[in-house]
Structure 1
């Protein structure tokens, strides 16, 4: 479950420049709007990771593990939020992570989070934890891109970073996949164990002996979000739908497809 030793164990997740700018503007006020802060922190994997890591730091004395952005915002003072945003690493489209399209990463992660939250609600699971898992589930991909160098080029040429078979191909190529790395980072950030397990088993939720149902929720959300990135046809959706995972939650393909976000974050060529 830990980050493989061959990888750099530290990771600064690049943040969306526009979101950082909007947060800095909002935090100038003596009493920032919590709803606005929740929206902005919850739309960016890097900012959410920084916020949750800070909130789960033992120095803040949280009485329970913090699994979502609203909980973290309620715990941390405004001064700490200002400090956090001021230190946020701003990403750029072409240089921050080798071989990774960051705008696609940000868009895809937010779409997955929205889907996971919706599916968790139907399955009577924690939608807040599901949203966080969806937002952070692919951060391990950034580590792999930064550390594997030219090897990642060969893999990306065969299948893009958000293809349905990505975990399988990464295991074949590297001996591990982004799910393991994401879980290792969550553990390093002291995030709740439910998030660590959900991230770790997202690709194979039924392989976990203790079975964490949120991993199945995330698996379905990832399938749907990646299917959209690939622009799969109705037939391809039917063929690739993970029926066995859906059965564990009582969710068939029609139910999953009906949970599409009201406002998908658009592809660049859709804008």
Structure 2
């Protein structure tokens, strides 16, 4: 985070740095939506937060980031894989949101933060989570079902609880809560459906599903609510908007 000590930090680099880490993103949005800065508006994504907060607040965020920062370790989790998967989901959600005319920045935020509850469960349920890990890995498409059977809740509810604690906008809280079953929400939220499809695509990629497995597992009913078929979802290329260095 040496960019933060520069006399004039480069916003595109700061955006990339914060947007690449679920913990930093959560902490940044928590501060931006707090009483001091967020009393008059809801901040949905990193670019808005960076425009709102002074450098002193950004440095404080880095110094006191919550769960999710890459520097921490989590029992039973391959964090490098987790960060890669979270970024993949975020980029896919952003891409899909653009097709259905939702806010891509908000979708990216939802995708980046959707699985932070996984880290909390792995820390708090070390023994019991091992039983689930034996049956299916952290990115298995059946993961939410197995967690709900054992705990009575899943990482989705934990992620939503964290988002609420961090004072994130309600649309993000609901998208995280209903990411596994968007149609169960009394007030259908398209963002949750976009997130669901992005998660399916990212986890299918992690599992390297074949053509038949993709067809069988595709959440067609959810895709139908957005007007997205399996081919459209599979064709999305998650763009990595990394800023170029000055010497490139």
Band the TM-score falls in, shorter-chain normalisation: over 0.9
1:118 aligned residue (95, 109, 114): 95
1:242 aligned residue (214, 219, 225): 219
1:174-253 aligned at under 5 Å gives the runs: 174-253=151-230
The number of residue pairs the alignment matches comes to 239
Q: Is 1:259 matched up with 2:222?
A: no
* Partner in structure 1 of residue 243 of structure 2: none
Q: Which runs of 5+ in 2 are unaligned?
A: 241-248
Q: What is the rounded CA distance, in whole Å, between the counterparts of 1:44 and 1:110 in structure 2?
A: 8
Q: Is 1:55 matched up with 2:66?
A: no
Q: What is the rounded CA distance, in whole Å, between the counterparts of 2:165 and 2:109 in structure 1?
A: 16
* Partner in structure 1 of residue 114 of structure 2: 137
Q: Is 1:64 matched up with 2:41?
A: yes
Report the 3-state secondary structure (helix = DSSP H, G, I; strand = E; otherwise coil) of the residue aligned with 1:53: helix
Deviation at residue 262 of structure 1 after TM alignment? 4.4
Deviation at residue 40 of structure 1 after TM alignment? 1.0
* Partner in structure 2 of residue 15 of structure 1: none
TM-score normalised by L of structure 2 = 0.93
Residue by residue over 1:216-238, the C-alpha shift from the partner in whole angstroms, topping out at 9 and shown as x without a partner, is 00000000000011011122111
Q: What is the rounded CA distance, in whole Å, between the counterparts of 2:18 and 2:109 in structure 1?
A: 11
TM-score normalised by L of structure 1 = 0.85
* Partner in structure 2 of residue 42 of structure 1: 19
2:132 aligned residue (155, 161, 165): 155
Contact 1:62 1:75 in 2 (8 A): no
* Partner in structure 2 of residue 28 of structure 1: 5
Deviation at residue 96 of structure 1 after TM alignment? 1.8
